[in-house]
Amino acid sequence: MPHLRISEAASLLGVSDDTVRRWIDAAGVATVKDGAGRLLVDGVDVASYASQRAAEHTTSRDDASVSRSARNQFVGIVTRVVADTVMAQVELQCGPHRVVSLMSTEAVQDLGLEPGVVATAVVKATTVIVERPRGAA
């Protein structure tokens, strides 16, 4: 069973270390200590919590007028828009992740996208590559 340090779990969940500690205390999640005495949390519990948070986020949004098949949605803040007369590049910071989208300049204008605006990146891809660091157990 994989274990993660609290800071690793926090980074994966997009929250602070203190939030993970509160989650551990409130949910009574079992922890173990590694050889250096650092507190570790079960990776399966972190994955379950992340899925639960995502489900709560999806159902709590006022999206009743929109149905979509894409499940990969990242809420973030627009950090940069580079546009010419036809196309635009929009960058969002979604937690620790930078998401870049290319779209028409007309779509950017219609959506009112500019730095500081909160927006959701909806990703529907036919190929997703998943990597793990070498030596990971």
Mean pLDDT of 79-88: 96
What's the pLDDT at 72? 79
Look up the CATH number of the domain holding residue 98. Answer: 2.40.50.100
DSSP for 31-58?
EEE-TTS-EEEEHHHHHHHHHHHHHHHH
Q: Which domain holds residue 51?
A: 3-60
39 and 9 inside one domain: yes
pLDDT tens digits along 84-135:
999 999 998 887 788 899 999 999 999 999 998 888 888 877 777 777 777 7
Residue 86 belongs to a domain = yes
Residue 66 belongs to a domain = no
Look up the CATH number of the domain holding residue 47. Answer: 1.10.1660.10
13 and 36 inside one domain: yes
d(CA 94, CA 4): 22
What's the pLDDT at 102? 94
pTM (predicted TM-score) = 0.53
Residue 133 belongs to a domain = no
Total number of domains constituting the chain: 2
Between 73 and 130, where is the model more confident? 73
Residue 30 belongs to a domain = yes
78 and 56 inside one domain: no
- What six digits make up the tokens of 98? 């930078």
pLDDT tens digits along 2-28:
888 898 888 877 788 898 898 888 877
Half-sphere exposure of 52 (CA within 13 A, CB side): 8
Decide if 46 contacts 5 (C-beta within 8 A): no
From the number of C-beta atoms within 10 Å of its C-beta (0-12, 13-18, 19+), residue 74 rates as middle
Backbone φ, ψ for residue 90 (5° rounding):
-115, 130
Among residues 60, 93, 108, which one ends one of the domains?
60
85 and 112 inside one domain: yes
Residue 135 belongs to a domain = no
Mean pLDDT of 44-72: 65
Lowest mean pLDDT segment, chosen from 54-63, 65-74, 111-120: 54-63
Residue 132 belongs to a domain = no
Among residues 11, 26, 60, which one ends one of the domains?
60
What's the pLDDT at 44? 82
What's the pLDDT at 86? 97
